[in-house]
Amino acid sequence: MVTAYISHPDCRLHHMGRHHPEQPARLAAIDDRLIASGLDAVLQHHRAEPVARSALVAAHEAAYVNEIFARAPRDGVLWFDGETAMNEHSLRAALLAAGALVMGVDLALAGEAARVFCAVRPPGHHAGRDRAMGFCFFNNVAVGAYHAINAHGLSRVAIVDFDVHHGNGTEDIVAGDERVLFCSTFQHPFYPHSGAGSTASNVVKVPLPQGADGALFRQAVREHWLPRLAAFAPQLILVSAGFDAHRADPMAGLNLVEADYAWVTRQLCRQSECSARGRIVSTLEGGYDLHALARSVEAHLKAFLGD
Protein backbone atom coordinates (compact mmCIF):
# COMPACT_ATOMS: atom_id res chain seq x y z
CA MET A 1 0.00 0.00 0.00
CA VAL A 2 1.46 3.37 -1.05
CA THR A 3 2.55 5.57 1.86
CA ALA A 4 3.26 9.23 1.19
CA TYR A 5 5.67 11.38 3.19
CA ILE A 6 5.03 15.12 3.15
CA SER A 7 7.55 17.62 4.48
CA HIS A 8 9.34 20.83 3.53
CA PRO A 9 12.82 22.13 4.42
CA ASP A 10 11.36 25.51 5.42
CA CYS A 11 9.68 23.83 8.40
CA ARG A 12 13.19 23.65 9.89
CA LEU A 13 13.60 27.44 9.76
CA HIS A 14 11.03 27.99 12.49
CA HIS A 15 13.11 28.35 15.65
CA MET A 16 12.15 29.37 19.18
CA GLY A 17 15.59 29.45 20.76
CA ARG A 18 18.63 27.25 21.27
CA HIS A 19 17.30 25.38 24.28
CA HIS A 20 13.65 25.09 23.21
CA PRO A 21 12.56 21.44 23.01
CA GLU A 22 10.49 21.94 19.85
CA GLN A 23 13.54 22.36 17.65
CA PRO A 24 14.43 21.92 13.96
CA ALA A 25 16.60 18.92 14.85
CA ARG A 26 13.42 16.89 15.35
CA LEU A 27 12.82 16.71 11.60
CA ALA A 28 16.49 16.05 10.88
CA ALA A 29 16.49 13.12 13.33
CA ILE A 30 13.45 11.59 11.64
CA ASP A 31 14.92 11.98 8.15
CA ASP A 32 18.24 10.48 9.23
CA ARG A 33 16.50 7.46 10.76
CA LEU A 34 14.38 6.85 7.67
CA ILE A 35 17.45 6.95 5.45
CA ALA A 36 19.41 4.61 7.73
CA SER A 37 16.51 2.14 7.92
CA GLY A 38 15.87 2.14 4.18
CA LEU A 39 12.31 3.43 4.63
CA ASP A 40 13.10 6.68 2.86
CA ALA A 41 13.48 4.80 -0.43
CA VAL A 42 10.02 3.19 -0.30
CA LEU A 43 8.03 6.30 0.65
CA GLN A 44 6.34 8.55 -1.91
CA HIS A 45 7.85 11.98 -1.20
CA HIS A 46 5.99 15.29 -1.52
CA ARG A 47 6.82 18.88 -0.62
CA ALA A 48 4.17 20.64 1.41
CA GLU A 49 2.51 23.74 0.00
CA PRO A 50 1.19 26.67 2.08
CA VAL A 51 -2.40 26.35 3.21
CA ALA A 52 -5.04 28.72 1.85
CA ARG A 53 -6.67 31.14 4.29
CA SER A 54 -10.06 29.64 3.45
CA ALA A 55 -8.92 26.31 4.89
CA LEU A 56 -7.63 28.00 8.04
CA VAL A 57 -10.87 29.85 8.75
CA ALA A 58 -12.80 26.59 8.49
CA ALA A 59 -11.09 25.59 11.76
CA HIS A 60 -10.19 28.96 13.31
CA GLU A 61 -11.86 32.31 13.86
CA ALA A 62 -11.10 34.65 10.97
CA ALA A 63 -10.01 37.39 13.39
CA TYR A 64 -7.48 35.01 14.94
CA VAL A 65 -6.04 34.02 11.58
CA ASN A 66 -5.71 37.69 10.68
CA GLU A 67 -3.98 38.35 14.02
CA ILE A 68 -1.38 35.64 13.38
CA PHE A 69 -0.58 37.11 9.96
CA ALA A 70 -0.43 40.64 11.37
CA ARG A 71 1.76 39.79 14.37
CA ALA A 72 4.24 37.49 12.60
CA PRO A 73 7.64 39.21 12.96
CA ARG A 74 9.86 40.16 10.05
CA ASP A 75 12.91 39.81 12.31
CA GLY A 76 13.61 38.84 15.88
CA VAL A 77 11.34 36.64 17.99
CA LEU A 78 7.80 37.33 19.18
CA TRP A 79 6.51 35.35 22.17
CA PHE A 80 2.80 34.53 22.34
CA ASP A 81 3.17 32.88 25.75
CA GLY A 82 5.94 31.40 27.84
CA GLU A 83 6.65 28.53 25.46
CA THR A 84 5.27 29.60 22.06
CA ALA A 85 7.15 32.02 19.82
CA MET A 86 7.56 33.06 16.20
CA ASN A 87 10.65 34.12 14.30
CA GLU A 88 10.67 35.57 10.80
CA HIS A 89 10.23 32.10 9.26
CA SER A 90 7.55 30.77 11.58
CA LEU A 91 4.48 31.96 9.70
CA ARG A 92 5.60 30.22 6.52
CA ALA A 93 6.42 27.07 8.48
CA ALA A 94 2.98 27.11 10.11
CA LEU A 95 1.29 27.60 6.74
CA LEU A 96 3.28 24.68 5.32
CA ALA A 97 2.43 22.47 8.30
CA ALA A 98 -1.30 23.05 7.87
CA GLY A 99 -0.92 22.83 4.10
CA ALA A 100 0.66 19.40 4.46
CA LEU A 101 -2.58 18.10 5.98
CA VAL A 102 -4.60 19.55 3.13
CA MET A 103 -2.23 17.91 0.64
CA GLY A 104 -2.35 14.64 2.55
CA VAL A 105 -6.15 14.59 2.55
CA ASP A 106 -6.17 15.32 -1.18
CA LEU A 107 -3.68 12.51 -1.88
CA ALA A 108 -5.62 10.01 0.21
CA LEU A 109 -9.02 10.85 -1.21
CA ALA A 110 -7.72 10.86 -4.78
CA GLY A 111 -6.38 7.34 -4.22
CA GLU A 112 -2.77 8.40 -4.83
CA ALA A 113 -1.61 7.25 -1.39
CA ALA A 114 -3.72 5.39 1.13
CA ARG A 115 -1.49 6.31 4.10
CA VAL A 116 0.22 9.66 4.57
CA PHE A 117 2.64 10.98 7.17
CA CYS A 118 3.26 14.72 7.48
CA ALA A 119 6.72 15.39 8.92
CA VAL A 120 6.13 19.05 9.68
CA ARG A 121 6.47 21.63 12.42
CA PRO A 122 5.23 23.63 14.24
CA PRO A 123 2.77 21.11 15.68
CA GLY A 124 -0.90 21.99 16.01
CA HIS A 125 -3.12 20.19 18.49
CA HIS A 126 -2.97 22.84 21.23
CA ALA A 127 -4.07 25.65 18.90
CA GLY A 128 -7.72 26.45 19.54
CA ARG A 129 -10.24 28.40 17.53
CA ASP A 130 -8.74 31.71 18.58
CA ARG A 131 -5.59 30.97 20.57
CA ALA A 132 -1.96 29.95 20.02
CA MET A 133 -0.36 27.91 22.78
CA GLY A 134 1.82 24.90 23.50
CA PHE A 135 4.20 25.45 20.55
CA CYS A 136 1.15 25.57 18.18
CA PHE A 137 -0.31 28.31 15.95
CA PHE A 138 -2.73 26.57 13.57
CA ASN A 139 -4.46 23.31 14.37
CA ASN A 140 -3.10 21.25 11.49
CA VAL A 141 -5.22 18.15 12.04
CA ALA A 142 -8.45 20.15 12.42
CA VAL A 143 -7.66 22.05 9.23
CA GLY A 144 -7.27 18.68 7.50
CA ALA A 145 -10.56 17.40 8.92
CA TYR A 146 -12.57 20.38 7.73
CA HIS A 147 -10.88 20.28 4.34
CA ALA A 148 -12.04 16.67 4.01
CA ILE A 149 -15.57 17.71 4.96
CA ASN A 150 -15.84 20.95 2.99
CA ALA A 151 -13.78 20.21 -0.12
CA HIS A 152 -14.44 16.47 -0.46
CA GLY A 153 -17.91 16.12 1.02
CA LEU A 154 -17.07 13.58 3.73
CA SER A 155 -19.58 13.27 6.53
CA ARG A 156 -17.56 11.15 9.01
CA VAL A 157 -13.96 12.02 9.83
CA ALA A 158 -12.15 10.61 12.87
CA ILE A 159 -9.24 12.31 14.62
CA VAL A 160 -7.17 10.19 17.00
CA ASP A 161 -4.50 11.70 19.24
CA PHE A 162 -1.97 9.69 21.25
CA ASP A 163 0.27 12.61 22.24
CA VAL A 164 1.17 12.71 25.93
CA HIS A 165 -0.53 16.11 26.22
CA HIS A 166 -4.28 16.58 25.88
CA GLY A 167 -5.21 17.97 22.47
CA ASN A 168 -7.18 20.79 24.02
CA GLY A 169 -7.15 22.88 20.87
CA THR A 170 -8.57 20.07 18.76
CA GLU A 171 -11.30 19.43 21.31
CA ASP A 172 -12.10 23.16 21.38
CA ILE A 173 -12.56 23.18 17.61
CA VAL A 174 -14.47 19.94 16.98
CA ALA A 175 -16.49 19.36 20.17
CA GLY A 176 -20.16 19.16 19.28
CA ASP A 177 -19.61 18.59 15.56
CA GLU A 178 -21.03 15.13 14.95
CA ARG A 179 -19.25 14.89 11.59
CA VAL A 180 -16.00 14.50 13.55
CA LEU A 181 -15.14 11.87 16.16
CA PHE A 182 -12.20 12.87 18.38
CA CYS A 183 -10.49 10.11 20.38
CA SER A 184 -7.50 10.85 22.61
CA THR A 185 -5.27 9.50 25.34
CA PHE A 186 -2.99 11.71 27.41
CA GLN A 187 -1.23 11.98 30.75
CA HIS A 188 -3.38 13.59 33.45
CA PRO A 189 -2.94 15.71 35.50
CA PHE A 190 -0.43 17.37 33.20
CA TYR A 191 -0.01 20.25 30.74
CA PRO A 192 -2.23 21.83 29.44
CA HIS A 193 -4.17 20.96 32.62
CA SER A 194 -7.34 20.07 30.73
CA GLY A 195 -9.12 16.99 29.48
CA ALA A 196 -10.77 15.65 32.63
CA GLY A 197 -14.52 15.79 33.07
CA SER A 198 -17.47 15.64 30.72
CA THR A 199 -17.46 16.84 27.15
CA ALA A 200 -19.45 16.64 23.93
CA SER A 201 -20.77 13.30 22.72
CA ASN A 202 -18.35 13.20 19.76
CA VAL A 203 -15.27 13.33 22.04
CA VAL A 204 -13.70 10.23 23.62
CA LYS A 205 -11.04 11.15 26.20
CA VAL A 206 -8.99 8.67 28.21
CA PRO A 207 -6.69 10.30 30.79
CA LEU A 208 -3.75 8.12 31.81
CA PRO A 209 -1.93 8.46 35.14
CA GLN A 210 1.75 9.30 35.37
CA GLY A 211 3.78 6.13 34.91
CA ALA A 212 1.22 4.38 32.72
CA ASP A 213 2.82 1.85 30.39
CA GLY A 214 1.93 0.25 27.09
CA ALA A 215 -0.44 -2.27 28.68
CA LEU A 216 -2.62 0.47 30.15
CA PHE A 217 -2.48 2.47 26.92
CA ARG A 218 -3.53 -0.55 24.85
CA GLN A 219 -6.36 -1.30 27.26
CA ALA A 220 -7.61 2.28 26.88
CA VAL A 221 -7.53 2.03 23.10
CA ARG A 222 -9.28 -1.36 23.05
CA GLU A 223 -12.02 -0.39 25.52
CA HIS A 224 -12.69 3.20 24.55
CA TRP A 225 -11.37 4.08 21.07
CA LEU A 226 -11.95 1.00 18.99
CA PRO A 227 -15.66 0.45 19.77
CA ARG A 228 -16.46 4.10 19.07
CA LEU A 229 -14.42 4.09 15.86
CA ALA A 230 -16.18 0.94 14.67
CA ALA A 231 -19.63 2.42 15.40
CA PHE A 232 -18.73 5.74 13.76
CA ALA A 233 -17.26 4.03 10.65
CA PRO A 234 -15.05 6.97 9.61
CA GLN A 235 -14.51 7.63 5.93
CA LEU A 236 -11.06 9.01 6.79
CA ILE A 237 -8.85 8.74 9.87
CA LEU A 238 -6.53 11.59 10.84
CA VAL A 239 -3.84 11.08 13.48
CA SER A 240 -2.23 13.59 15.81
CA ALA A 241 0.93 11.53 16.18
CA GLY A 242 2.70 12.75 19.27
CA PHE A 243 5.56 10.49 20.39
CA ASP A 244 6.27 12.21 23.71
CA ALA A 245 4.54 9.47 25.72
CA HIS A 246 7.70 7.42 25.04
CA ARG A 247 9.47 6.35 28.22
CA ALA A 248 12.68 8.13 27.09
CA ASP A 249 10.99 11.48 26.50
CA PRO A 250 12.12 14.20 28.95
CA MET A 251 8.89 16.22 28.74
CA ALA A 252 6.46 13.81 30.40
CA GLY A 253 5.91 10.71 32.51
CA LEU A 254 4.33 7.92 30.47
CA ASN A 255 6.18 4.75 29.50
CA LEU A 256 5.27 3.80 25.94
CA VAL A 257 7.80 2.25 23.58
CA GLU A 258 8.08 1.86 19.82
CA ALA A 259 6.07 -1.37 19.85
CA ASP A 260 3.11 0.47 21.36
CA TYR A 261 3.10 3.03 18.55
CA ALA A 262 3.31 0.24 15.97
CA TRP A 263 0.44 -1.59 17.70
CA VAL A 264 -1.94 1.39 17.79
CA THR A 265 -1.09 2.23 14.20
CA ARG A 266 -2.03 -1.29 13.14
CA GLN A 267 -5.37 -0.98 14.97
CA LEU A 268 -6.11 2.24 13.10
CA CYS A 269 -5.10 0.63 9.81
CA ARG A 270 -7.58 -2.21 10.43
CA GLN A 271 -10.40 0.25 11.08
CA SER A 272 -9.46 2.30 8.03
CA GLU A 273 -9.63 -0.84 5.88
CA CYS A 274 -13.13 -1.55 7.19
CA SER A 275 -14.68 1.88 6.66
CA ALA A 276 -12.24 4.30 5.00
CA ARG A 277 -10.75 2.36 2.07
CA GLY A 278 -7.51 2.22 4.05
CA ARG A 279 -7.14 6.02 4.19
CA ILE A 280 -5.15 7.49 7.09
CA VAL A 281 -3.37 10.86 7.25
CA SER A 282 -1.01 11.30 10.20
CA THR A 283 0.84 14.41 11.33
CA LEU A 284 3.68 14.95 13.76
CA GLU A 285 2.82 16.52 17.10
CA GLY A 286 5.14 16.03 20.09
CA GLY A 287 8.25 13.95 20.71
CA TYR A 288 11.37 15.58 22.15
CA ASP A 289 13.96 12.88 22.73
CA LEU A 290 15.46 12.82 19.25
CA HIS A 291 16.43 9.15 19.20
CA ALA A 292 13.13 7.93 20.65
CA LEU A 293 11.20 10.21 18.31
CA ALA A 294 12.99 8.92 15.23
CA ARG A 295 12.57 5.27 16.23
CA SER A 296 8.89 5.81 17.00
CA VAL A 297 8.19 7.44 13.64
CA GLU A 298 9.99 4.52 12.00
CA ALA A 299 7.69 2.08 13.82
CA HIS A 300 4.61 4.15 12.88
CA LEU A 301 5.56 4.15 9.20
CA LYS A 302 6.49 0.47 9.12
CA ALA A 303 3.01 -0.29 10.46
CA PHE A 304 1.55 1.84 7.65
CA LEU A 305 3.54 -0.25 5.18
CA GLY A 306 2.27 -3.50 6.68
CA ASP A 307 5.36 -4.55 8.62
Q: What's the pLDDT score for residue 307?
A: 86
Count of domains observed in the chain: 1
Q: What is the pLDDT of residues 98-112, one digit of tens each?
A: 999 999 999 999 999
Q: How confident is the model at residue 286 (pLDDT cuts 50, 70, 90)?
A: very high
Of all residues in the chain, what percent carry a pLDDT higher than 90?
98
Of 14, 60, 126, 246, catalytic: 126
- Tell me the chain's radius of gyration from C-alpha atoms: 17
Q: What is the pLDDT of residues 210-234, one digit of tens each?
A: 999 999 999 999 999 999 999 999 9
Examine the residue annotation and report whether 126 is marked as an active-site residue of this protein: yes
Question: Phi and psi of 79, rounded to 5°?
Answer: -95, 130
* Three-class secondary structure of residue 205 per DSSP: strand
Domain span holding position 243: 3-16+21-304
Whether the Cβ atoms of residue 163 and residue 285 lie closer than 8 Å to each other: yes
Q: What's the pLDDT score for residue 198?
A: 85
Q: What is the mean pLDDT of the chain?
A: 98
CB-CB neighbours of 4 under 10 Å: 21
Question: Phi and psi of 166, rounded to 5°?
Answer: -60, 130
Do you know the residue count of the chain?
307
> What is the rounded CA–CA span in Å between residue 54 and residue 235?
23
Cα within 13 Å of Cα(104), Cβ side: 34
Q: What is the pLDDT of residues 57-87, one digit of tens each?
A: 999 999 999 999 999 999 999 999 999 999 9
Q: With the CA atoms of 259, 263, 269 and 273 taken in that order, what torsion angle do they form, in degrees rounded to the nearest 10?
A: 140
**In this structure, what CATH number is given to the domain that contains residue 31?**
3.40.800.20
Phi-psi region of 76 (alpha: psi -120 to 50; beta: other; left: phi over 0): left
> What is the rounded CA–CA span in Å between residue 19 and residue 40?
29
Instruction: Give the chain's count of helices (H) and strands (E).
Output: 10, 10
> What is the rounded CA–CA span in Å between residue 111 and residue 104?
11
